[in-house]
Structure 1
Amino acid sequence: MNRMKLCLLAALTFGHGMAEAAFRDNPTEMTTSIVNPSFEDGATGWANAGFWTQTNDSPTGEGWTKDGKIYMERWVADSQTLPDADLHQVVSELPVGVFKVVVDAHAVNQKGEPEVCQGAFLYVGRHETSVHKGGEYQLRAVAVNGTLEIGFRLKGTDANWAAVDHFRLLYEGHDVEAYKEELDILLAVAEEGAAQENCHNLTSLRKAIETAKETGDSVDELVAALQGLDAAINEYDRLAVQYGAFERALLNAKKLYDGSDYAGKSLFGKVIEELEPLADNPEGQDLMEAVSKLEKATQDYLDTRPSNWMTIRNGALWVDDRGEPVQAHGAGFLQVGDTWYMIGEDRNNTWNPDVNMYSTKDFVHWKFERKIIKNGVTHPSLGNGRFIERPKLMYCRKTGKYVVWCHWEQGNYGASEAAVFYCDSVNGDYKFHWAGRPLGVKSRDCNVFVDNDGTAYFISTIEENQHLGLFRLSDDYLSAVEYTELFKWQSREAPAIVRHGDTYFMMFSACSGWDPNQATFSYSKSLTSGWSSRANIGNSVAYDTQAASVLTVTGSKGTSYMYVGDRWQDPGLAESKTIMFPISFNGNSIVFDYKPQFDLDLSTGQCRDVAQSCYVPKGKWKVRAFSSQETGSENGAAANAIDGNLQTKWHTRYSGGVASAPHHIEVDMGEEHEIAGFLCAPRMDNSSNGLVRDYMFLVSTDGEQWEAVSGGTWLPYYAGVYFEPVKARYFRLVALAGQYASISEIDILQEAPDSFAPASVNGSWRLGESSPFYNTNPTVRKRSTVTLTAKTGSSGGSWAFYGPDGEMGHTNEYRIDKVSDENVGVYTFIYSDQYCQSAKVDFQLSIRGTDVESVESGLAVVDTKYYTLQGMEVSEPLGKGIYVVKTCYGDGIVKVEKKLLD
């Protein structure tokens, strides 16, 4: 039936000239008012949370036949039961009257237990009926305001398979008895709402209730009473939602006001004072307009913050206010007032991460808020067969609720689902809302995007990582309502969307497990169509990152955009780093240049390069030595490592025979400097060949005597590495392993950051099998066996060793058998942690003299040896006790005696 006929029918029904029974016996078919009633276009037109499209003919086994090619279902193995799910649509432009909805459906447990399943419902308006065995189900309801919500819901069901298809809508006209029944239902709803302590439209509800109770039995009177009740109930629902949004906005504004003291505080306070009375008297008010006023006042107040430049350093684990490593991988972000909140995976529990939340006002100092989603607590399946990846956080201003979408998965990645959680406060315990395949589509790596108009989207890699799916979310952000397939067959993952002006940019990576790969981007004027061909950005490994988020930082002087990526497996999953650096836009291109450190001012929305004064100037530098260089097949000269150009590189020899490790480069800085770190930039071209990981960094004042100050098995990728300040003119970087070594640039850092706090490293040594001596100056006789040991209370870092003969390795223990003169010297053990800090302990090994050519007197003592009562020789007394002491004199006399020594 076309729209003109619908309007005519609506007009005719108000004349009441036709008998009610005639409508019931010969209802008018209005199924065309339903968008996609038999799901031939998938879930288009439906708000779908948890159901999947299916094309097989299995419903015939349950007693009904699908209509067309597609039906909707949810299925799990018969050893399980189905999670909650919902599929609904609001049908609009309907005449007032009674409607019958007919649908084919079932909800069964294929094990046969129970025979009749519970927890599956067909619903129309405020009416519902249980669905169990397969067949046709019918339900009648009254439309009083031109709309009718129809749907299929699973709630606590004991079924393992539910399916639905072929919604039909039949108009039966006016029915006095049906109106009276509907009136009783709406009266009960209205009276329940009026009895609530937080009823925000009590006056209009009471008036509608009073009118309904006094109404007559005519169709006109019943319809008027129904419409009055329906309007009052809808107003109650509207205010309930808007009040939550207003209340949250007001609470956030008051929290910001109470916790800060910026220049615009007085004006900000006046806006709060003006709007606060609405909390007590919201009836008839547009609370969303008040929300907008609070949002504007908040931004105006934030724009009065004083400038506060902070240096962001990449490559190290972030630390929270407890001194613990920040665990928030695959991070999502949300700004509330002057505070940014970050959520992410806690990979301390490697394969079953909780979701942690942190907060910051400067992206340097992080406060641990809480675990907002916990294994076995938030949902019984979490940590018990199910886990979360890439949680993302949004604020729904229409409801005042905070919403998390994430990847919801099982061990073999066969589930391919999403999950949704929500909370009334940003840092509260989040509640599970729903899990499943959005609109029935297999979904994995994911992200979210909220557009300027507040419309939210969930984007994920879909259908076994073959395409990307863009899902428009419902107004409350809790379900997907529309789906668009993008970048078909291009196998993209880790998508991240940002809007700049009227252009959308999307970044993503290829699928290569935990290993980094070439990042690409696309742009479009529309989210759902018109995306450009992909173009490369960054180097071949996206600077060892994979996109997690793109932040829009707006302040009093402008807007900056921050790329946030995960540096996975660095070196382990729990040690994966969060990397952040500014990006910008040039027409339809992204300027995507990594920065090991940069300055950010959240108050002004600006970023800048760090001052060059933090680096030792290179004007007098020259390469003094190198192990090899490649100049035959490319320009891989060692001098390129200090030329100030990231596009050139030093590369070890590979043409005419590959140079073997260790590889090294040695530089003369021309004069002595006090230095506190170094920065090694890997090659920036389309290859990661020659990346240095196992390393040693040495310094010298004279080019002859070398001191090891940093080393380990995991040189951070393009990040400053810091150590205790030391004077040096020369430095040498050694790559201890690898077929090749390649470096684009080396810089020397003049001072460590204020946060520099390296681990404490202690030393001890043993003589033979003795108990340890807790000092670092072993003095022993020749031919002794000495074991040197270094320890730290920290974890997650790596060790390096440097001996007096130039020996290098990765150990915290070194054994010397049959000590000789060649072993005398300094032995250095270095511990490099996950915060890009190196600490060390030096042992000075000496030999006790025993060879005597002449003595001043025969009574002179030339040697003394100590033995325990068990006969074990020790280099010196281990503590208070009785020892056997053997004393040798210059005239050859040897005296042996027991002594009590302190």
Structure 2
Amino acid sequence: MKRFFLYGCFLGLFLPVMGAEVNEPTEMTASIKNPSFEEGLNGWEAIGFQKQTNNSPSDEGWNKDGTVYAEKWVSSSWTLPDVKLSQTVTGLPQGSYTVKVYAHAVNQSGNPEITKGVSFFAGLNEVQVGAGGEYRINVIVTDGRLDLGMKVSSTDANWVACDNFRLYYHGREEVDAYRKDLKEKLALASAAMSEKDCHNRSQLEQAVHNAENVEGDIESLLTAILDLEQAITEYRRLTVEYGAFERAFLNARKLYSETDFPGKTVFGEAIDQVSPMLDVPEGKDLVGAVTRLEKATQVYLDSRPSNWMTLRNGALWKDDRGEVVQAHGAGFLQVGDTWYMIGEDRNNTWNPDVNMYSTKDFVNWKFERKIIRNGSTHPSLGNGRFIERPKLMYCRKTGKYVVWCHWEQGNYGASEAAVFYCDSVNGDYKFHWAGRPLGVKSRDCNVFVDDDGTAYFISTIEENQHLGLFRLSDDYLSAVEYTELFKWQSREAPAIVREGDTYFMMFSACSGWDPNQASFSWSKSLTSGWSSRTNIGNSVAYDTQAASILTIKGSEGTSYVYVGDRWQDPGLAESKTILFPISFKNNTITFNYVPRFDMNLPTGQCRTTGMTHLVSKESWKVRACSSEEISSENGASSNAIDGRADTKWHTRYSGGVSEAPHFLEIDMGNEQEIAGFLCTPRNDNSSNGLIRKYLFLVSSDGIEWKAVSGGTWLPYWTEVYFEPIVARYFRLVATEGTYASLAELDVLSSAPSYTPVKVTGSWQYGTMVSSSKNPNLRENSTVKFMARTEETKGTWAFYGPKGQMLHTNEYNISSLKAEDAGWYSFIFTDYYNQSAKVDFKLRVRTSSVGVKEVPSEAEGIVRRQYFTLSGTEVPIPVHRGMFVVRTLYEDGRVDVVKVFIGDSDC
């Protein structure tokens, strides 16, 4: 009855039209809004398409109609992203129609000659578009509506254009037209049933059965066509929505099975309520089911017990394998109680894979896998193309995980983006598309998903001149429109977060790998109304560049955590990921770095960590310093221990610059056990005097000093640990630099999980090599001290008894003197900021006590042999005793001596 009523309505409404002769179709192009684009794209839903006025279509064999046509074009070096141009025509009578359009889809490079992935569609029918010309589709309209347009999906074309859509009505009396349309829809339905993930198979089977047994009258054919259309439409809906529902269901069930929080019973009931839809999804509100599961998941997560964890900045992270976490330019996504992080693996410095890690507390990291691999995920990766700043999103509509990133070549001339996707968060991601989004040059990038699920890709565009905000399609796989922001301001590393009804965007200037001043802007709209930029933090953004802003939601509220890359620290592979809390109030950002803080994911809270491990400064005083600037500014050395980060010590520059090494020496007033130190850099608008190459010395009496830490890279505002030692005095030395400065200097009473690498040492005396730590050697002889470690990620420092300060793991003395006696120390500081060392105590003897000296290597020795007193030749002696040494010289002389070799010589 319903179908008959619809037919009657249309019959009465369009009776004059329907009375036309069947062989003379009635043009109904007027039913299409703006069919020739003379009003631009008004009336059309244009996802990625743009209007154009040139005459270029004539090069492809057809001419535009009027002055405007629609197109999507990128340089022939690239291919088009997924785009779509569509319109729904309404108020049409039932019957047979022909839709026509002039169009082409080509690759102007000539390769391939015949492109794929572009179609002209009307209703459920479509034809592939290739060479320029007129395309047509015959279609039956069953319900007064007709969707028509162009769509591009995974194409190898670089130019698609269309113009002059036309619509012709043939009436409803052409039985052959109905039979042809029925045949085409039968093919679509059969293809759908053959798919593995067909979720309304019974509906399709019934519609196909009815169609194959339909009677030949128009009403029966129309009914069969309508049944097929509904089944095919439901199949396409379920193809999208079932994937999202299944992924939400599996994520919820995984969380349920792996956890045991207080709200588990209620959470399980919510999962059970929607589980029948897995088997029978036809006609079900899967989108609503996803929403219910998401709400139930958040309620369950809010029942988690409080769990405060301390996060420490400035050191490399290790994963569950004991390997260094490699995820630079990181992107983050929360799934249940697990956070996933992806980023660049800079072990392969200029061709990074993309790694994924997971955590439940941001302290313990599990390596999931390489989700994007050079030469595997895409043949160009590692072969002319590389990835930077990969960012991860979850598309609620499709249930797929999507990665957008910067897709580049060695000279940064490509200026492109790339898109990858996967059905599971930690699976192998598939390549979808790469190119310039909407034809715009794109580099440094990020993503943002708004509260309504709309996703955006934001990047620095057009040679780093502006920022481009690209709204993404509903499936997050392509850009559909973009807005230029912050024109001519040369911003990069954009990161967007929403707090309430206000959007905040952070960014940096463009200065390569070097840090610079961070700034932010705010707006009530993403596409307009952004405030002027306001600087935040110090002049180098605490030696970071923004990667992400995390929104931490929990049972007690919401916190925000800034994530920045500390690039080149000191190399790309050693770049650190820095996190610290930020907050928003009255359109401002509180952006203050801390070397450590506490975070509670279940409650959504952050707090400042108590610094009880810092030694009290109550009795401290500056004992000495290399110089201080007190004429042109307050750079007094006492500022380094005043407990304030807004003052500083600075070496002299007025009346002549004080030369390196620069040092600051502190008397703590009494002996303390110390296990590390913290150097807070200056916090004004300059990084002048930042200390990198350093030594840290301690003493109990202020006379004899020992080196306990050192290297060529003092980490920025980061705790450095060494083996606990009792001392009253300490000295920080900047071994190089025109100036030195710092805001505050602290020492630590304890070091968390101090597990330094093992440093071994040896020394070479002639051809003899010994690992003894107490060499007793003759005056005027030559010795070489050496230190080694199996760890490669770290730097060296050396300290000698006469105050020698170098950055090496080898030290030579060509002619020993009595004053060379003393301690020789080699210190290795790894990139976990742990210092370890090896010490040698050298004694220098002035006489051999009547034993003839063994000649030195400098005398032209060809070969030296060792014999026992019984005449047996032995290797270089490693035990004490009397030996006969036979030495052959270059001039032919032979010297044989009897020598006693003691423990200190071995």
Q: TM-score, length-normalised on structure 2?
A: 0.90
The corresponding residue for 1:889 is: none
CA deviations 1:502-550 (Å, max 9, x no partner) are 1111111111111111111111111122111111111111111111100
Q: How far apart are the structure 2 equivalents of 1:376 and 1:871?
A: 55
Identity of aligned residues (%): 59
Residue aligned with 1:185, SS: helix
State the Cα distance separating 1:316 from its structure 2 match: 0.9
State the Cα distance separating 1:646 from its structure 2 match: 0.9
State the Cα distance separating 1:147 from its structure 2 match: 4.0
The corresponding residue for 1:3 is: none
Distance 1:704 1:68, change over 3 A: farther
CA deviations 1:769-796 (Å, max 9, x no partner) are x142123222111111000000111113
Residue aligned with 2:185, SS: helix
State the Cα distance separating 1:28 from its structure 2 match: 2.5
Q: How far apart are the structure 1 equivalents of 2:728 and 2:459?
A: 53
CA deviations 1:151-173 (Å, max 9, x no partner) are 1536564x6x5341435242435
State the Cα distance separating 1:683 from its structure 2 match: 1.0
Q: How far apart are the structure 1 equivalents of 2:322 and 2:273?
A: 42
Residue aligned with 2:593, SS: coil
Query: 2:310·2:599 contact (CA, 8 Å) conserved in 1?
Result: yes
Q: Which amino acid aligns with 1:759?
A: V
Q: How far apart are the structure 1 equivalents of 2:15 and 2:838?
A: 94
Query: 1:88·1:149 contact (CA, 8 Å) conserved in 2?
Result: no
Query: 2:796·2:808 contact (CA, 8 Å) conserved in 1?
Result: yes
Q: How far apart are the structure 1 equivalents of 2:44 and 2:32?
A: 16
State the Cα distance separating 1:305 from its structure 2 match: 1.9
The corresponding residue for 1:89 is: 85
The corresponding residue for 1:775 is: 772
Query: 1:467·1:487 contact (CA, 8 Å) conserved in 2?
Result: yes
CA deviations 1:633-654 (Å, max 9, x no partner) are 1111111111111111111111
CA deviations 1:681-712 (Å, max 9, x no partner) are 11111111111111111111221111111111
Q: How far apart are the structure 2 equivalents of 1:368 and 1:38?
A: 55
Q: How far apart are the structure 1 equivalents of 2:901 and 2:533?
A: 82
Q: How far apart are the structure 1 equivalents of 2:781 and 2:42?
A: 81
Query: 1:102·1:139 contact (CA, 8 Å) conserved in 2?
Result: no
Query: 1:545·1:565 contact (CA, 8 Å) conserved in 2?
Result: yes
The corresponding residue for 1:5 is: none
Residue 517 (1) aligns with residue 516 (2): yes
Q: Which amino acid aligns with 2:365?
A: W
State the Cα distance separating 1:15 from its structure 2 match: 7.1
State the Cα distance separating 1:561 from its structure 2 match: 0.5
Q: Which amino acid aligns with 1:539?
A: N
The corresponding residue for 1:711 is: 710
The corresponding residue for 2:411 is: 412
The corresponding residue for 2:755 is: 757
The corresponding residue for 1:857 is: none
The corresponding residue for 2:797 is: 800
The corresponding residue for 2:821 is: 824
550-559 vs 53-62, which moves further: 53-62
Match of residue 841, structure 1, among 838, 842, 864: 838
Q: How far apart are the structure 1 equivalents of 2:642 and 2:741?
A: 14
Residue aligned with 1:385, SS: coil
State the Cα distance separating 1:583 from its structure 2 match: 0.3
The corresponding residue for 2:313 is: 314
Query: 1:54·1:73 contact (CA, 8 Å) conserved in 2?
Result: no
The corresponding residue for 1:354 is: 353
Distance 1:241 1:304, change over 3 A: same
Residue aligned with 1:543, SS: coil
Distance 1:260 1:666, change over 3 A: same
Distance 1:155 1:263, change over 3 A: closer
Q: CA RMSD in A?
A: 3.1
Q: How far apart are the structure 1 equivalents of 2:42 and 2:408?
A: 23
The corresponding residue for 1:153 is: 152
The corresponding residue for 1:855 is: none
CA deviations 1:812-839 (Å, max 9, x no partner) are 0000111111000000111111111111
The corresponding residue for 2:25 is: 24
The corresponding residue for 1:185 is: 184
The corresponding residue for 2:572 is: 573
Q: How far apart are the structure 1 equivalents of 2:171 and 2:10?
A: 12
State how 1:485-564 maps to structure 2 within 5 Å.
485-564=484-563
Distance 1:55 1:722, change over 3 A: farther
The corresponding residue for 2:3 is: none
Distance 1:191 1:41, change over 3 A: closer
Residue aligned with 1:494, SS: strand
Query: 1:447·1:494 contact (CA, 8 Å) conserved in 2?
Result: yes
Residue aligned with 2:33, SS: helix
Query: 2:693·2:736 contact (CA, 8 Å) conserved in 1?
Result: yes
Residue aligned with 2:811, SS: strand
State the Cα distance separating 1:33 from its structure 2 match: 5.2
CA deviations 1:534-591 (Å, max 9, x no partner) are 1111111111111110000111212110100111111111111111111001110000
Q: How far apart are the structure 2 equivalents of 1:640 and 1:213?
A: 91
State the Cα distance separating 1:180 from its structure 2 match: 2.7
CA deviations 1:371-395 (Å, max 9, x no partner) are 0001111111111111111111011
CA deviations 1:730-767 (Å, max 9, x no partner) are 1111111111111011121221112x321211001100
- Stretches of structure 1 that go unaligned for 5 or more consecutive residues are 1-7, 853-861, 887-893
Q: Which amino acid aligns with 1:123?
A: F
Q: How far apart are the structure 1 equivalents of 2:307 and 2:806?
A: 43
Distance 1:20 1:603, change over 3 A: farther
State how 1:619-638 maps to structure 2 within 5 Å.
619-638=618-637
Query: 1:10·1:94 contact (CA, 8 Å) conserved in 2?
Result: no
Distance 1:108 1:523, change over 3 A: closer
Residue aligned with 1:614, SS: coil
Q: How far apart are the structure 2 equivalents of 1:545 and 1:750?
A: 28
Q: Which amino acid aligns with 2:822?
A: G
420-429 vs 696-705, which moves further: 696-705
Residue aligned with 1:772, SS: strand
The corresponding residue for 1:732 is: 731
Query: 2:700·2:728 contact (CA, 8 Å) conserved in 1?
Result: yes
State the Cα distance separating 1:212 from its structure 2 match: 3.7
Q: TM-score, length-normalised on structure 1?
A: 0.90
The corresponding residue for 2:858 is: none
Query: 1:108·1:133 contact (CA, 8 Å) conserved in 2?
Result: no
Q: How far apart are the structure 1 equivalents of 2:560 and 2:609?
A: 17
Distance 1:303 1:14, change over 3 A: farther
Instruction: Give the length in aligned residue pairs.
Output: 867
CA deviations 1:331-369 (Å, max 9, x no partner) are 000011111100011111111111100011111111111
Q: Which amino acid aligns with 2:637?
A: A
Q: How far apart are the structure 1 equivalents of 2:474 and 2:499?
A: 23
Distance 1:209 1:382, change over 3 A: same
Q: How far apart are the structure 1 equivalents of 2:44 and 2:672?
A: 68
- Stretches of structure 2 that go unaligned for 5 or more consecutive residues are 1-8, 856-860, 868-874, 887-894
The corresponding residue for 2:100 is: 101
Query: 1:362·1:602 contact (CA, 8 Å) conserved in 2?
Result: yes
State how 1:230-245 maps to structure 2 within 5 Å.
230-245=229-244
Q: How far apart are the structure 2 equivalents of 1:43 and 1:571?
A: 56
Distance 1:635 1:92, change over 3 A: same
Query: 1:99·1:143 contact (CA, 8 Å) conserved in 2?
Result: no
Q: How far apart are the structure 1 equivalents of 2:900 and 2:675?
A: 50
Residue aligned with 1:208, SS: helix
Q: Which amino acid aligns with 2:46?
A: W
Distance 1:548 1:786, change over 3 A: same
Q: How far apart are the structure 2 equivalents of 1:877 and 1:231?
A: 93
Q: How far apart are the structure 1 equivalents of 2:458 and 2:609?
A: 35
Q: How far apart are the structure 1 equivalents of 2:778 and 2:11?
A: 110
CA deviations 1:295-322 (Å, max 9, x no partner) are 2222222222222211111111111111
CA deviations 1:614-643 (Å, max 9, x no partner) are 111111111111111111111111111111
State the Cα distance separating 1:22 from its structure 2 match: 6.8
341-350 vs 248-257, which moves further: 248-257
643-652 vs 133-142, which moves further: 133-142
